[in-house]
């Protein structure tokens, strides 16, 4: 049990660091102000699937805060949206069960549903409502940002995260797959 806790703390740190590096240095402009195509959500989703909801939530939340601090100040509505995104994807981890060495049709569908739900809750509900209520942002700008973020983050999670999880699943030996010599 203790070893599992250490593993999760280390995974959270590595996940937050990767999130930060991708968010800060590999951001792809979307054409909408303050909204990028964000590869880091694919990595956050991978950590959520591999290590569960707490690691998924904290790695994204910490990475998001660190990224925002390098730009000047934390945009809390989006940081909490990122946290909720990782939490929701991580809650589906047991249904995906990557450690069985499977990431086939059923697991991909579950992963897609997890990301769809996470993107709907994180951006239109948490981030957008927070932007309007806390920061008094105009709804028209927030709506454009959340639509781009939700679609782009879903696509990045499916492509980047999906390919990593598929590749990872192929490294795990399935039970009964080893022959006795």
What is the Cβ-side half-sphere exposure of residue 179, based on CA atoms within 13 angstroms? 1
Cα gap 180→58, rounded to integer Å: 43
The pLDDT tens digits for 104-134 are 999 999 999 999 999 999 988 899 899 999 9
Cα gap 120→123, rounded to integer Å: 6
The pLDDT tens digits for 47-80 are 999 999 999 999 999 999 999 999 999 999 999 9
The pLDDT tens digits for 27-41 are 888 887 777 888 999
Q: Where are the domains of the chain?
A: 2-169
CATH 3.40.50.300 fits 2-169, yes or no: no
pLDDT of residue 177: 60
The pTM assigned to this predicted structure is 0.90
């Amino acid at each position: 049990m203790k070893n599992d806790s250490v593993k999760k703390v280390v995974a959270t740190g590595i996940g937050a660091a990767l999130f930060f590096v991708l968010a800060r240095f590999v951001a792809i402009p979307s054409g909408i102000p303050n909204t990028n195509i964000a590869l880091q959500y694919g990595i956050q989703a991978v950590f959520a699937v591999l290590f569960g909801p707490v690691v998924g939530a904290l790695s994204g939340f910490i990475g998001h805060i660190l990224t925002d601090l390098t730009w000047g100040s934390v945009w809390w509505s989006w940081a909490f949206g990122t946290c909720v995104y990782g939490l929701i994807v991580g809650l589906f981890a047991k249904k995906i069960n990557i450690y069985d060495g499977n990431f086939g049709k059923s697991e991909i569908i579950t992963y897609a549903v997890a990301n769809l739900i996470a993107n709907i809750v994180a951006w239109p509900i948490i981030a957008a409502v927070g932007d309007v209520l806390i920061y008094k942002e105009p709804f028209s700008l927030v709506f454009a940002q959340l639509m781009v973020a939700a679609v782009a983050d879903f696509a990045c999670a499916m492509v980047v995260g999906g390919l990593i999880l598929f590749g990872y699943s192929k490294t795990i030996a399935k039970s009964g797959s080893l022959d006795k010599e």
